[in-house]
Amino acid sequence: MNLATLLQARAAEGRPVRVGLIGAGKFGAMFLAQAGRTAGLHVAGIADLDLARVRDTLGRIGWPPERSEPASLEQAIAGGGTWLTEDASALTDDQRLDVLVEATGHPAAGIRHARAAFAAGTHVVMVNVEADALAGPALAQEAAGAGVVYSLAYGDQPALICELVDWARSIGFEPVAAGKGTKYLPAFHASTPDTVWEHYGLTPEEARAGGMNAQMFNSFLDGTKSGIEMAAVANATGLLPPTQGLAFPPCGVDDLPHVLRPRSAGGQLEAEGQVEVVSSLERDGRTVFRDLRWGVYVVFAAPDDYVRRCFREYGLHTDASGRYAAMYKPYHLIGLELGVSVASAALRGEPTGCSRRWRADVVATAKRNLAAGETLDGEGGYTVWGRLLPASASRQSGGLPIGLAHGLRLCRPVPAGRSLVWDDVEDTGDDDARRYRREMEAAFS
């Protein structure tokens, strides 16, 4: 409730929160659009491999020319400008920054950047939820040891779901279910970058003109991104993933308490206390009435008749029994809201969601029959999509995490629909990300 006041105080003192941003794609651009208008925040540096694109982005979002480009980070810090660089380590290793925002979307890079920032004593806001799904519990543990904050990114759905779960628990309700909405049909799991635009109602030419990345957008459509985001939520809140993966039941906001209650009570959950994603499409393709495609929710239950009566008196939509109710947020503004995480980390020392347990994993799953010798192309590609599973099941089977399923060569065929294991791919030795993940598996098993 007081973040704006704290930011204004820092602005009045001439000590704005100094921020470094790695990755100036869509999320980063949206953050910059509002950060430039937020008293008490100073984006001192931006690192990206394509500085021409960054300069174009800054022009499009109305970044004042006088803020761009000092000759060094030191000059930016002294003069209030924003330094641009292709070298991410120039930001991760600088101890004068208060918060590093990691927005590359590349899991291995995200782990590397976060660890370097921890070593420099810098808080990290991890927009890169792919990195969090791969190794978030280990990163959070390392951050705590360094005395800094590691946080999910407010504005993205996982942090907003964590906020709703925290709200419920803070007033004595244990969540029955929590999650988000998305556009889903079972056939989407087989979608590839060649077929993705027809599902969005775009032509490939329109998508290219808008600068849209087919593989990235396909990861949203084929179920991978939903799995990654729900893994982050499960690991942050302790809620459990469904044992067979997300079911994506069609459900509008008025039916959340009816659909997302346990099967024993007439709903579709395996049990109370799990994550789930609801679809904005009926299985025949019709749009769900009052869908939650852009939003997040939490379902909770009345512990007694008095609270059940309160639900009724204050107009909550409940199931037929009156016991189960839901709270939801219909929209999320991704990068436009990210300043909440930056301010919370720097001024309160608190994350807006943080992986604390290893409850869930996202395992590469064959989109079609894959032949020995084929090379995997990671999330949103032509070969695999990411299925959410309990971490214990992934660990026991040797599941291949989606965050490492890129550039690996299959040593045997894998049928469509089967989740891959490490024994399915040729051993390429240990890189830093794989080693870090294996260390996490051993530590959190």
The full DSSP string for 147-208 is T--EEE-BTBHHHHHHHHHHHHHHTTPPPSEEEEEE---GGGGG--TTTHHHHHT--HHHHH
Question: 353 lies in a domain?
Answer: no
Rounded average pLDDT over 102-123: 97
Task: Give 204's pLDDT tier (boundaries 50, 70, 90).
Answer: confident
Asked if 413 and 295 sit in the same domain, the reply is: no
Question: 19 lies in a domain?
Answer: yes
pLDDT at 210: 67
Asked if 244 and 375 sit in the same domain, the reply is: no
Question: Percent of the chain beyond pLDDT 70?
Answer: 99
Residue 408 contacts by C-beta under 8 Å, 6 or more apart in sequence? 375, 376, 400, 425, 426, 428
Asked if 288 and 144 sit in the same domain, the reply is: no
What is the spatial distance between Cα 356 and Cα 338, in angstroms, rounded to a whole number?
21
CATH code: domain of residue 17:
3.40.50.720
pLDDT at 1: 65
Asked if 60 and 78 sit in the same domain, the reply is: yes
Q: pLDDT tens for residues 21-41?
A: 999 998 999 999 999 999 999
Task: Give 8's pLDDT tier (boundaries 50, 70, 90).
Answer: very high
pLDDT at 66: 67
Question: 216 lies in a domain?
Answer: no
Q: pLDDT tens for residues 317-340?
A: 999 999 999 999 999 999 999 999
Asked if 287 and 176 sit in the same domain, the reply is: yes
pLDDT at 212: 74
At 258, list the tokens: 């009816």
Tell the residue number behind the tokens 């260390």, with chain if given: 439
269 HSE (CA, 13 A, CB side): 27
Asked if 342 and 368 sit in the same domain, the reply is: no
Rounded average pLDDT over 281-290: 96
| Domain range for 12 | 3-156+338-348
Residue 272 contacts by C-beta under 8 Å, 6 or more apart in sequence? 174, 176, 177, 261, 262, 301
Question: 251 lies in a domain?
Answer: yes
CATH code: domain of residue 396:
3.90.1210.10
Question: 197 lies in a domain?
Answer: no
Question: 355 lies in a domain?
Answer: no
Q: Of 66-75, 331-340, 363-372, where does mean pLDDT reach its minimum? A: 66-75
Task: Give 443's pLDDT tier (boundaries 50, 70, 90).
Answer: very high
pLDDT at 203: 87
Asked if 133 and 67 sit in the same domain, the reply is: yes
**Which stretches of 25-147 are DSSP H helices?**
26-35, 51-60, 73-79, 89-92, 107-119, 129-146
What is the spatial distance between Cα 401 and Cα 390, in angstroms, rounded to a whole number?
12
Rounded average pLDDT over 299-306: 97
3-class DSSP assignment, residue 314: coil
Q: What is the C-alpha radius of gyration for the chain, rounded to an integer number of angstroms?
A: 22
Asked if 227 and 292 sit in the same domain, the reply is: yes
Asked if 96 and 17 sit in the same domain, the reply is: yes
Rounded average pLDDT over 113-139: 98
Helix-strand-coil split of the chain, %, nearest 5:
40, 20, 35
Asked if 46 and 148 sit in the same domain, the reply is: yes
Asked if 323 and 375 sit in the same domain, the reply is: no
Report which DSSP code applies to 419.
B
214 HSE (CA, 13 A, CB side): 19
User: Is the pLDDT at 254 greater than 90, yes or no?
Assistant: yes
What is the spatial distance between Cα 25 and Cα 31, in angstroms, rounded to a whole number?
10
What is the spatial distance between Cα 22 and Cα 46, in angstroms, rounded to a whole number?
6
Question: 298 lies in a domain?
Answer: yes
Mean pLDDT score across all residues of the chain: 95
* 276 φ, ψ (degrees, to nearest 5): -160, 150
Cβ of 390: how many Cβ atoms within 10 Å?
A: 19
Strands 177-182 and 150-152, how do they pair? unpaired
pLDDT at 69: 79
Which pTM value belongs to this model? 0.95
Q: pLDDT tens for residues 154-201?
A: 999 999 999 999 999 999 999 999 999 999 999 999 999 999 998 888
Question: 325 lies in a domain?
Answer: yes
pLDDT at 67: 72
Question: Percent of the chain beyond pLDDT 90?
Answer: 89
User: Is the pLDDT at 211 greater than 70, yes or no?
Assistant: no
- Please give the tally of structural domains in the chain: 3
CB 218 within 8 A of CB 196: yes
Asked if 230 and 325 sit in the same domain, the reply is: yes
User: Is the pLDDT at 42 greater than 70, yes or no?
Assistant: yes
Report which DSSP code applies to 357.
S
Last residue of a domain, one of 315, 348, 381: 348
pLDDT at 223: 96
pLDDT at 235: 98
How far does CA 402 lie from the centroid of its chain? Answer: 14
